[in-house]
Amino acid sequence: MTSESEYQSKVKEILFNDEFIDLLFKNGIPSYVKDQFRFERALKLLKYPKNKTIFELGAFPGTGFYYFGEFNNMIGIGKTNLDFSKKAISLGHDLIDVDFESIKKGDIHVQADVVLVMEVLEHIRMPYKFIEAILGNIKPGGLLYLTTNNQSYIGYLVKLLFNKEILDPIESENTFYPGHCRYYGLKELVRVFDKFGFIILESNYINFLPKYKLYKSEKFGFIKNLFVKLFPNRFSTHIEILIKKPE
């Protein structure tokens, strides 16, 4: 991590001051550390936006504030709770409570310059309707950056080879954390955004794995990172897409 600004220190104090317990990673490691690479990647592709209205959808509550919020108007979109809402407001940001499964065009009355849809789509049971609704809230010339699990990830192929499940149980559907219900191919999503008339600026296979020293078993983390890098990009952990709405 580079040295933190006064703003980032405040975000850390307000949003990440609890003890984090994780089955896979070492206890006490917050999401802004585990997910540093993917958010720095987003910053780079989006060319370090300033003075923009940015929607952060879903999966990383608070992490987008940490990396994007100092110079932008951040609005968190999705299901939340009163405690997190109060904390976000204390940082000068807003939250809009929306159920992604029932969202439709017009439900959100604010337009965004940038929309972050990072690790969300794989949880959505009606993805086409969700995408259509979100795209309607992007300003002309605005950007959407999306990441999601790659359906051809080598880890999933190995699991299938050994008859292991790669998706979460359907019982998770009605919980606060709806599990992964579907994975996507890069060409499939590019086709969808092209159909909606958006300009495709980037469409890539990419590996998003935390550093091996963050895993409870550093040996497992090292082997996993090394194993994934042995295969061509099309077998990477994730796909990413950056699109622009025509002006």
Do 3 and 12 contact (CB within 8 A), yes or no? no
**pLDDT > 80? residue 18:** no
Spell out a b/e string for 30-46, using b for 16 or more CB atoms within 10 Å of the CB, else e: bbbbbbbebbebbeeeb
* Higher-confidence position of 213 and 79: 213
Half-sphere exposure of 174 (CA within 13 A, CB side): 1
Instruction: Look at residue 28 in the predicted model and tell me its pLDDT.
Output: 85
How do residues 138-192 score in pLDDT, each as one tens digit? 999 999 999 999 999 999 999 999 999 999 998 888 777 789 999 999 999 999 9
Instruction: Look at residue 1 in the predicted model and tell me its pLDDT.
Output: 59
| CATH class for the domain made up of 6-244 | alpha beta
How do residues 44-102 score in pLDDT, each as one tens digit? 999 999 999 999 997 556 899 999 999 999 999 988 778 888 888 999 998 888 888 88
In this structure, the number of other CB atoms found within 10 A of the CB of residue 9 comes to: 12
Instruction: Look at residue 184 in the predicted model and tell me its pLDDT.
Output: 97
Question: pTM for the complete prediction?
Answer: 0.93
* Higher-confidence position of 82 and 36: 36
Q: Calculate mean pLDDT across residues 9-25.
A: 85
56 Cβ contact list (under 8 Å, min separation 6): 64, 65, 68, 74, 75, 76, 77, 116, 118
How do residues 56-65 score in pLDDT, each as one tens digit? 997 556 899 9
Identify any residues that bridge with 74 across adjacent strands, giving them in sequence order: 54
In one-letter notation, the amino acid at residue 88 is: A
